[in-house]
Amino acid sequence: MIKKHKDFIYEGMLIFVAIIWGSGFIAAKLAVNLGASPLTILVLRFFVASLFITIIFWKSIGRIKKKDLFGGMLTGFLLYGAFAFQTYGIKYTTPSNNAFLTATNVVIVPFIYWVFYKKRPKNKVFVAAILCLLGIGLLTLKDEFGMNIGDIYTLICAVLFAGHIVCNDYFIHRMPSLKLVALQMYFAFLFSGLMIMVMENPMHTSFQLDGKAILFILYLGIVSTGVAFLLQTIAQKKVDANKTVIFLSLESVFGTLFSIIIFHEVIRIQLILGAILVLIAIMIAEYEPRSTVNNKEA
């Protein structure tokens, strides 16, 4: 009974993370609407997250060795790329589309494993992929046949997030998890900093920022990145990986709900059907029968 109660707490933490990430789509959209450029949002987001994680986990991170740098750099680059395309995507599409299309990364992951590890996905993954494509079609195809640039950016983001998950899974078994998380943030901040130096005038852009936009960016850095990563790290040690992904995929549902409440997004039957198909695809891809899970643990 006590064990079940503890499991409920950790599962609740993951649902809370999904709520935070769902609200993150809204914060990013509001910051963009207030004039903050996607690159400015990324630089400040990763700077604040890096500072937060360093302060909280300074002793746990420990000494960074040369062999740790490659893992941090590669995962950090993929994390930066994913967030970059996601932030540019939300500039041109709705928060609900941005949320659901980002969530398709869990269906993409098995195919990336197939490419790099020569491990063919289970048949259910192919079924999930077909359902996911149908869902994406309903979400993104409006009155005319075609996707807007924001939807395309978000799909690229989903592929990069899938690559980040695979890469993260590789390095998490070769270095301490908190050190890997911290290095990802440092390198993501570095890459976003280098990009803004090339693409924009960072000093000019910073002084042009609206006060409310800064508050939304601080929320993205501290809560949506720093706190969310902290809670996810704690919960993942206690919750089965398959359950974890399903709980975290609820970010797309919360992102849509927040979008409807705050932006008064019109609830189209097409949106509802597309969202349902994507969620079913995610659950099919990640579901493992209890007997299978128990056999693996045994």
Q: Mind listing the pLDDT tens digit for each residue in 2-15?
A: 455 566 888 888 88
* Max mean pLDDT range (44-48, 52-56, 118-122, 178-182): 44-48
pLDDT at 288: 64
Which residue bears the tokens 């959209």? Answer: 29
pLDDT tens digits, 54-104? 988 888 787 888 888 999 999 999 999 999 999 999 989 888 888 888 888
pLDDT at 297 over 50: no
Q: What are the tokens at 21?
A: 């990430």
Q: Looking up tokens 């939300």, which residue turns up?
A: 90
280-294 average pLDDT score: 65
pLDDT above 50: residue 298? no
Using the predicted structure, report yes or no on whether residue 271 has a pLDDT greater than 80. Answer: no
Q: pLDDT, tens digit, for every residue of 170-202?
A: 887 788 878 888 999 999 999 999 998 888 765
- The answer to whether 277 and 134 are in contact (CB under 8 A) is yes
Amino acid at 1: M
Q: Judge residue 5's burial from the number of C-beta atoms within 10 Å of its C-beta, 0-12 exposed, 13-18 middle, 19 or more buried.
A: exposed
At 122-151, the pLDDT tens digits run 788 788 888 877 887 777 665 554 578 998
| H-helix segments, the chain | 2-33, 38-61, 66-92, 95-103, 105-117, 123-140, 149-171, 177-199, 202-207, 211-219, 228-236, 241-248, 251-263, 269-286, 290-297
Q: How high is the pLDDT of residue 296? A: 45
Q: What is the DSSP string of 16-66?
A: HHHHHHHHHHHHHHHHHHTT--HHHHHHHHHHHHHHHHHHHHHHHH-PPPH
Evaluate the CA torsion angle 297, 103, 185, 17 in order and state its sign.
negative
- Pull the structure tokens for residue 229: 């990563």
Q: Who contacts 40 (Cβ-Cβ below 8 Å, separation ≥6)?
A: 196, 200, 202, 205, 206, 209, 217
Q: What local confidence, expressed as pLDDT, does residue 208 receive? A: 66
pLDDT at 235: 81
pLDDT in tens, 207-263: 467 788 899 999 999 999 988 878 887 787 777 655 666 777 778 888 888 888 888
CB 85 within 8 A of CB 162: no
Q: Does residue 33 register a pLDDT over 80?
A: yes
Q: What is the pLDDT of residue 156?
A: 95
Q: What's the whole-number average pLDDT of the chain?
A: 82
DSSP state of 166: H
Residues 110 and 282: beta-carbon distance below 8 Å: no
296: Cα within 13 Å, side-chain hemisphere = 8
Torsion angle of the four alpha carbons 169, 81, 101, 282, in this order, in degrees rounded to the nearest 10:
0
Residue among 273, 282, 261 at smallest CA distance from 29: 261
**pLDDT above 80: residue 30:** yes
Q: pLDDT for 154-166, tens place per residue?
A: 999 999 988 888 8
